[in-house]
Amino acid sequence: MADTADRAPTRPFSHLDQSGRARMVDVSAKPVTRRVAEASCRVALSAATTARLAELPKGDALAVARLAGIQGAKRAGELVPLAHPLPLDQVEIEIEPAPGGVTIRSRVVTTARTGAEIEALTACATAALALYDMVKAVERGAVITDLQLDAKSGGASGDYRRGGPAGA
């Protein structure tokens, strides 16, 4: 939370009209450009469960989670009410063991008028939920945490990298 607390928004929220009502942003005047977004999250698991991810009762949890993440990115415009449906050029999902569980990373590429941040975040969240579904028979205490945008490029608002200079 400290990362965002120091950078309170100074611009108005784009998804609110002048009366404060939610609206879908009109992106029709924006140029079509290549946009890339990267996100990540963690799934906290015991070492014993992490070691068994490829051989759980339901099958290979990592393969299922990867496919779910790709499908989640493709459906983000249906799941998030004000997000624009985007033509996705590429979705990559990486799931790696990490201390205390696994880290899930996504990278989404689109050529469009608006960015792919929601798609990258949805990819991670969906992969994590699928992973939870796969492990719940052996570890109901799994915890999904730290869902975050790590980087984005393309578009008028410029590039962003987590931990970069304020406003970057």
User: Quick one: which of 57, 59, 129, 138 has its CA closest to 93?
Assistant: 129
What's the CATH number of domain 32-154, 3.30.70.640, 3.30.390.10, 2.60.120.380, 3.30.565.10? 3.30.70.640
Residue 155 pLDDT > 70? yes
Question: 53: which DSSP letter?
Answer: G
List the chain domain ranges. Answer: 32-154
Residue 27 or residue 125, greater confidence: 125
Q: Which residue has tokens 């051989």?
A: 55
Q: What is the pTM of this model?
A: 0.87
Residue numbers annotated as active site: 133
Average pLDDT, the chain: 89
Residue 166 pLDDT > 80? no
Q: Tell me: the pLDDT tens digits for 10-62?
A: 766 777 667 777 777 878 889 999 999 999 999 999 999 999 988 877 778 99
Token reading at 20: 């404060």
Helix, strand, coil share of the chain (percent; to 5): 30, 30, 40
Q: Residue 109 pairs with which residues in a beta bridge?
A: 36, 90
Residue 10 or residue 5, greater confidence: 10
One DSSP character per residue, 58-104 reads TB-HHHHHHHHHHHHHHHHHHHSTTPPP--EEEEEEEEEEETTEEEE
Residue 1 pLDDT > 70? no
* Rounded percentage of the chain residues whose pLDDT exceeds 70: 88
